[in-house]
Amino acid sequence: MGTSPYLPPPPPLRLPPTDPTRQTGKLPRDPAPPPTPSSASPREGIADADADAAMASTSSKHAKHRRIGEDEEEEEEEEEEEAEEELGRFDDFTIASSWERFISEIEAICRQWLADGPKILMQKGAETVPSFENLYMVKRELKHGKRVYCMEYHFRKSAKGKYSYWDDDTHSTQLSFGVDEFLIIAPLSASGVVLDDPESTKLLSSVAIALSNCGSNWPAFVPVHDPSRKAYIGIQNMGTVFTRRFEADRIGSQVPIRLMHLEGLHELFLSKFVLSSTDFPAKVKVNFSMKLTYRTPEHDYDHEETLDSEATESIPESEVASQPRKQWDDDCPWAEWYSAEDPVKGFELTTIWGEKMFEESFEMAEVENASSFDADSWLLQPVVSPYMVDDSIGKFVGFASQLHLLVNAFESSAEAQFLEDFVADNSGQDNSKSSVAVPPPSVIDRVMKDLFNDEVGNSNYVEAENKYGRALKGAPSDSLFAQFCLHALWFGNCNMRAIAVLWIDFVREIRWCWEESERLPRMKTTSSIDLSSCVIHQKLQMLAICIERKKSLNRKKDTDDAHKEKTSNSMAPDKIRKGSAGVVPSMMLINTFQEMHAPYTQDAPLMTEDMHEERLHAAEAFGNAVGLSGQLERDILSSDMSAFKAANPDAAFEDFIRWHSPGDWVSEDKSDGNPTWPPKGRLSQRMSEHGNMWRKIWNDAPALPVSEQKSLLDSVREGEKVVHYLETLRPQQLLEQMVCTAFKSSADILNKTTYGGFKLMKTKMDQLYATMVSTLRSLQGKSDTSDLAGDLKRLCQVFEHIEKLLIFAASVHRKLIDAPRLAQSIFTDYFNYYLPKMGTSLESICYEKEFTTKEKVGTLEREAVSSLFRPPTANQSWRKVLSMGNLLNGHEPIQREIVFSVLEKLSNGHYSSPTPLCTDEQIETHRMYICGTSNDLWIALSVTSWD
């Protein structure tokens, strides 16, 4: 084999001659020089040697007390040397040297591994090689002299046939040297390599002899030189016909220009075995395969915005520098509360050129200048941020991390009866600690301005589409209390003291709105209360309604007074129409030829959940639940009758029934639809019975418009009750509702994320809502705080996992929006990788496996993937000078891997055995693997020879 200035030649391996009479497994020593004439006879020499040996043994026993701590191997070798000198220079082949014993030990281990085979070795506890599903390893430690070595046997779990060079499940040693199973023997030292050339040669020879004795053709490798070089020497005995030798080394600085191009690498490969023009034909058929890996540059969103807008050219540099940096998630729903680190830092694109055959070096230049679109296959892998792998609590900052802090505050909420107790500056406590820190007043003012912003308007209550969302007893995510809870998550470090300070200021602003009759922002003004929400949200709904009713009643009173003054001069005083909301179409009063007017009526009295409970408890206490409900109905009915009488001064009881309860009026009018007078018909049997309650209420009801009636809902009283409830709310009651609302609102915000409709992601969001419903339901049952804390913290862990996945899904979708199939496949790969981490345990799961799955890029998807590689800027153009070719949109590969090989048939090889072999099997007689960049090149060479 030829030599090269770039790679050290493989060391010659000299095997000792085989002794056909050897039966003990020990190797003969080198012959010793003949004995001198003065030497004793062999028999005498042996006798003398035995005596001296006994003396030496006795002497050595006494010497142990004087030489404590010396190596036993050294003593054994000294005894052997003394025995040899006394034997009269005759070799005793029954005594094995330490090297022979070392070889014998290697042989015994290899024989055991061979006898067991992969299946039994796996049953005995063979280790999985990290990141390789089909590769296992067993290892044993050996001692030779003072050195301790470790021998590792790597084998495949199952034979896949001929595997591809570029299979992701291929070990670097398999890829570098074209082997399947292999041995590695190295010293147990800090470096893990053999630094001495004679030692490495001796070590490799020992393994080769042992494998030859076993009849094994396993390749064996020894790491040599400095560890940074990743250098190896190796050998493989292929029976009695041929031998393969291996070597690998690294060029770690200033790669020669010619080796930066395929043509030069091809010439380097040929130089390793073409020593002269007569050794091989003029044209050598060389098999070539190549794998190029590209890395997308970090996406600069500011630069993208600058390119899209020409107007920025006129902006001064000082103003540009003061503008906030654009983030990747600026338009994502969670961006209002936090900016998430992009979980997808970029992509690695692997392009593979399948095996092709070339005969001339200049053909390599054509391959180097070819477009990456000409590669046989493209594989894409996302570069995932470390925080997506490390699931330790506290590493990820998002809604989940803040919810965890809120749960901690919930645990401490039972320590005091009043919120003011947490705000009080206790002299015995250090309030400067982060656990009780409160932001400055300026931050509080900013939060209040955002919560009570007049420009926000009424809430539209855009509910989450999730079917489980309504089962969570919180508040809608865009309502006033929900916004308070979301602000509280990020207010300081969400400790109980900070929450108390924020709540007191929040209630102070609400009282101001009530006293000044100012509209509550972010609240509905319709006359209904959502009893499925939390009590605080219901109370705020009640307060908003009370404020609006108070204002509307004042407006109606002014309107009625003006109308009264206008009509007083044209009518008799007892016939003034009041509180009319308009004429009822096609209806006339029975007693007078007048159109019927519909009155303004009072709405049914509104009640929050706790008010309903109070009425129920009161009814149970007095034992008259039916009577209490009936009284409320009579009050409503009396109010409606009074308003109807005021709007229709000449109306009869039958007129009210025709308007209020048409089902109790039996019409006998057979007209064609035009109103007739007087209306023909009669009351129903229920309404015409003697002593009917409705007629009695009618007779007693005065003619009063709504503006003059006593309100069924006392707005002033109920509004004051709401404010009082908020001001006297106990800390634990507040935190219970905050926890439910914060979880629901956070999930609703995430649920608005656009992620391409990935089915697995939607399923996980459904599971999150279902888990929240089952966990948070116990908060409504007034369970003990200490019992709930553990469940809530586990819920935070589940929330964090799904929040991470959702952000990952959004990032992948945005980057591959023009390749939706590819985006969904990549998300599915990552989902399956992340799934084992998604437990409910509070403990951090140790999961060291890296995400290395690659997705195949379809032909029609290559254009979308190539758009990820934006052309380099002018400042980056200088790198083209040192380019290795095969650029993709101006970007060179971050790593180039190439395999050159020559295949020959055993029957007619150039170095074939004199005995013809009856086979047409082809083997790689010469092989070279190149891996690296323009600044770092690693080369592995394997050469087959017939010795």
Same domain, 413 and 528: yes
Q: Is the pLDDT of residue 392 over 90?
A: no
Residue 885 lies in a domain: yes
Higher pLDDT, 619 or 189: 189
- Residue pointed to by tokens 């925080």: 387
The number of folded domains in the chain is 4
DSSP 8-state secondary structure symbol assigned to residue 346: E
Q: Is the pLDDT of residue 909 over 80?
A: no
Residue 212 lies in a domain: yes
Q: Return the SS3 of 927.
A: strand
pLDDT value at residue 382: 95
Percent with pLDDT over 90 in the chain: 43
**Residue 340: pLDDT band with limits 50, 70, 90:** very high
Same domain, 333 and 211: no
Same domain, 248 and 103: yes
Considering the chain, what is the average pLDDT of its residues?
A: 79
**Of 371, 178, 382, nearest in space to 292 by CA:** 371
Residue 881 lies in a domain: yes
Residue 946 lies in a domain: no
C-alpha separations of 924 from 565, 899, 902 in Å = 113, 11, 6
Higher pLDDT, 654 or 159: 654
Mean pLDDT value of segment 284-313: 69
**H or E element: which one contains 668?**
none
Range of the domain at 182: 98-252
Of 838, 871, 905, the residue at which a domain comes to its end is 838
**Residue 31: pLDDT band with limits 50, 70, 90:** very low
Same domain, 828 and 867: no
pLDDT value at residue 169: 82
Strands 220-224 and 182-187: parallel
Mean pLDDT value of segment 784-796: 84
Secondary structure string (H, E, C) spanning 225-290: CCHHHCEEEEEEEECCCEEEEEEEEEECCCCCHHHHCHHHHHHHHHHCCCCCCCCCCCCCCEEEEE
**Residue 941: pLDDT band with limits 50, 70, 90:** very high
Q: Which regions of 92-238 does DSSP assign to beta strands (E)?
A: 127-128, 135-144, 147-156, 182-187, 220-224, 231-238
Same domain, 236 and 349: no
pLDDT value at residue 928: 95
Which residues share a beta bridge with 245?
A: 235, 943
Q: Is the pLDDT of residue 686 over 70?
A: yes
Same domain, 833 and 861: no
Mean pLDDT value of segment 336-364: 91
Same domain, 819 and 861: no
**Residue 911: pLDDT band with limits 50, 70, 90:** very low
Same domain, 533 and 626: no
Q: Is the pLDDT of residue 456 over 70?
A: no
Residue 37 lies in a domain: no
Higher pLDDT, 198 or 883: 198
Which residues share a beta bridge with 349?
A: 294, 380
DSSP 8-state secondary structure symbol assigned to residue 300: -
DSSP 8-state secondary structure symbol assigned to residue 803: H
Which residues share a beta bridge with 139?
A: 152
CA distance 688 to 776: 53
Same domain, 417 and 534: yes
Higher pLDDT, 257 or 426: 257
Same domain, 829 and 898: no
Bond from prior residue into 297 cis (ω within 30 degrees of 0): no
pLDDT value at residue 610: 85
DSSP 8-state secondary structure symbol assigned to residue 387: G
- In single-letter form, the type of residue at position 538 comes to Q
Of 778, 812, 838, the residue at which a domain comes to its end is 838
Residue 388 lies in a domain: no
Residue 215 lies in a domain: yes
Residue 661 lies in a domain: yes
Same domain, 363 and 404: no
The answer to whether the beta carbons of residues 832 and 798 sit under 8 Å apart is no
DSSP 390-456: ---TTSS-SHHHHHHHHHHHHHHGGG-SSHHHHHS--TTS-TTSGGG----HHHHHHHHHHHT-TTS
pLDDT value at residue 645: 93
Same domain, 351 and 471: no
Of 803, 838, 873, the residue at which a domain comes to its end is 838
